[in-house]
């Protein structure tokens, strides 16, 4: 009779998903000497994001939630990843908020006087420095902002995990998951499992009750040969310089369409707004779309399942994943390993009416 050997692999954590949240949690585990394996197949919405980081909400000129602590942890985190992966990821750039009215200017200068905003908002009006840009009322400058190359990060990190034999590229099969005092997934045994699968949470039987609504965003990559902009322009859309006269423009918000297919409607909307700002020639190079993991109350989804305390979730990063991911990954790890409470506005316990 032929004998079959069954190999059992022990690890501290299984991580499902490799977007910004998954990468950040992997790094937290590595820093703390914890073993893990990643299960990932589907492309994350992270890789079709513009990767902006900006501590200020430009509609209301207010600080984003926990912005100070997020920016303080995010910048060093990505700088260390650049060294580790030998890849350029961070591109610090000011955000230039284009003013449409004198009232907007006045609101800006009122905000720039507030102590909590002074280090982020310049109190000087920037007259239009850009060729063929329609901005008669000028711009306000946001500092400590920029772009992080999310696509390069996820690609490089995946390659790193492959070299370390720390990733299984397959769709997660919930039928193969067994939960008791230990987690078992196929021949992997772990102390805990963390789900960081973004909008894929809607197919997750443990956490699909959470009010993650998701919204679709679409981006265009343009080649603008006569333009050389060294700032992110924010109007009704954002315009992000990449390199060699290429620019990302976005974004749209659609709460009904949950597909990742680019649409002609969004393309026309983005181009129409872009043409109101820029009057020169350009070419559309690429059109992408993704579903952002947004939550009904605009706060993240962090915590453990109320009935299975070795099953955790790290999700709901929405439109601010670059800033949120390192901060939330550390928060979840501290809770799982050191019982340090999760911020109550991020903890999934806040949804008391959910029937688990």
Cα–Cα distance measured from residue 216 to residue 239, given in angstroms and rounded to the nearest whole number: 18
Which DSSP symbol is given to 143?
Answer: P
Q: What percent of the chain has pLDDT over 70?
A: 97
Q: What is the pLDDT of residues 62-81, one digit of tens each?
A: 999 999 999 999 999 999 99
Higher pLDDT, residue 66 or 59 = 66
Nearest to 252 by CA among 233, 230, 271: 271
Burial of 230 (0-12, 13-18, 19+ CB in 10 A): exposed
What residues form DSSP beta bridges with 188? 9, 185
- At 2, is the pLDDT very low, low, confident or very high (cuts 50, 70, 90)? very low
User: What pLDDT score does 41 carry?
Assistant: 84
Cα–Cα distance measured from residue 189 to residue 183, given in angstroms and rounded to the nearest whole number: 6
Cα–Cα distance measured from residue 39 to residue 16, given in angstroms and rounded to the nearest whole number: 5
Which DSSP symbol is given to 122?
Answer: -
Cα–Cα distance measured from residue 223 to residue 80, given in angstroms and rounded to the nearest whole number: 31
Residue 7 pLDDT greater than 80, yes or no: no
Q: What percent of the chain has pLDDT over 90?
A: 89
Nearest to 209 by CA among 336, 329, 353: 353
Tokens of 306: 């109320």
Helix axis angle, 150-163 to 67-85, nearest 10°: 50
Tokens of 212: 């993650």
For the chain, give the number of residues. Answer: 356
**Torsion of Cα atoms, 274 then 125 then 75 then 59, to 10°:** -60
All domains of the chain, ordered by start, with CATH? 9-48+151-211+299-350 (3.50.50.60), 94-144+215-292 (3.30.9.10)
- At 40, is the pLDDT very low, low, confident or very high (cuts 50, 70, 90)? very high
Q: Can you list the pairs that 99-103 forms with residues at least 24 positions away whose Cβ atoms lie under 8 Å?
A: 99/135, 99/137, 99/138, 99/139, 99/140, 100/137, 100/235, 101/137, 102/137
Convert 255-284 into a string of H (helix), E (strand) and C (coil).
CCCCCCCCCHHHHHHHHHHHHHHECCCCEE
Higher pLDDT, residue 115 or 251 = 115
Q: What is the pLDDT of residues 197-250, one digit of tens each?
A: 999 999 999 999 999 999 999 999 999 999 999 999 999 999 999 989 999 999
Cα–Cα distance measured from residue 79 to residue 86, given in angstroms and rounded to the nearest whole number: 10
User: What pLDDT score does 1 carry?
Assistant: 40
Going by their DSSP bridges, the two strands 301-304 and 238-241 should be labelled as unpaired
Contact 46, 150 (CB under 8 A): yes
Tokens of 158: 């995946």
User: What are the two backbone dihedrals, phi and then psi, of residue 191, each rounded to the nearest 5 degrees?
Assistant: -75, -40
- Considering the entire predicted model, what is its pTM? 0.94
Cα–Cα distance measured from residue 211 to residue 296, given in angstroms and rounded to the nearest whole number: 6
Contact 29, 36 (CB under 8 A): yes
Place of tokens 């000087």: 124
């Amino acid at each position: 009779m032929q004998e079959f050997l069954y190999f059992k692999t022990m690890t501290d954590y299984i991580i499902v998903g490799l977007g910004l949240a998954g990468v950040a949690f992997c790094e937290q585990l590595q820093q703390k000497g914890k073993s893990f394996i990643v299960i990932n197949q589907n492309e994350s919405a992270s890789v079709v994001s513009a990767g902006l980081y900006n501590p200020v909400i430009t509609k209301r000129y207010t600080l984003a939630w926990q912005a100070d602590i997020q920016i303080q942890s995010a910048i060093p985190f990505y700088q260390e990843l650049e060294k580790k992966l030998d890849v350029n990821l961070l591109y610090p750039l000011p955000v230039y908020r284009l003013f449409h009215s004198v009232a907007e200017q006045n609101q800006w200068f009122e905000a720039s006087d507030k102590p909590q905003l002074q280090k982020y908002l310049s109190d000087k009006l920037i007259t239009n420095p850009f060729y063929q840009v329609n901005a008669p009322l000028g711009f306000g400058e946001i500092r400590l902002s920029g772009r992080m190359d999310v696509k390069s990060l996820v690609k490089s990190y995946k390659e790193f995990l492959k070299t370390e034999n720390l990733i299984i590229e397959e769709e997660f099969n919930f039928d193969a998951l067994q939960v008791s005092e230990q987690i078992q997934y196929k021949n992997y045994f772990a102390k805990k499992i963390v789900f960081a699968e973004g909008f894929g949470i809607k197919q997750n039987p443990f956490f699909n009750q959470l009010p993650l609504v998701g919204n679709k965003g679409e981006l265009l990559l343009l080649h603008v040969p006569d333009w050389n902009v060294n700032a992110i322009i924010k109007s009704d859309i954002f315009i992000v310089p990449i390199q060699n006269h290429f620019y990302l423009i976005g974004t749209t918000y659609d709460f009904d369409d949950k597909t990742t297919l680019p649409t002609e409607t969004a393309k026309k909307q983005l181009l129409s707004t872009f043409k109101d700002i820029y009057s020169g020639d350009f070419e559309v190079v690429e059109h992408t779309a993704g579903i952002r993991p947004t939550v009904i109350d605009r706060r993240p989804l962090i915590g453990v399942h109320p009935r299975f305390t070795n099953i955790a979730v790290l999700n709901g990063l929405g439109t601010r994943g670059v800033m949120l991911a390192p901060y939330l990954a550390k928060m979840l790890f501290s809770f799982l390993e050191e019982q340090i409470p999760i911020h109550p506005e991020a903890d999934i316990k806040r949804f008391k009416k959910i029937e688990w």
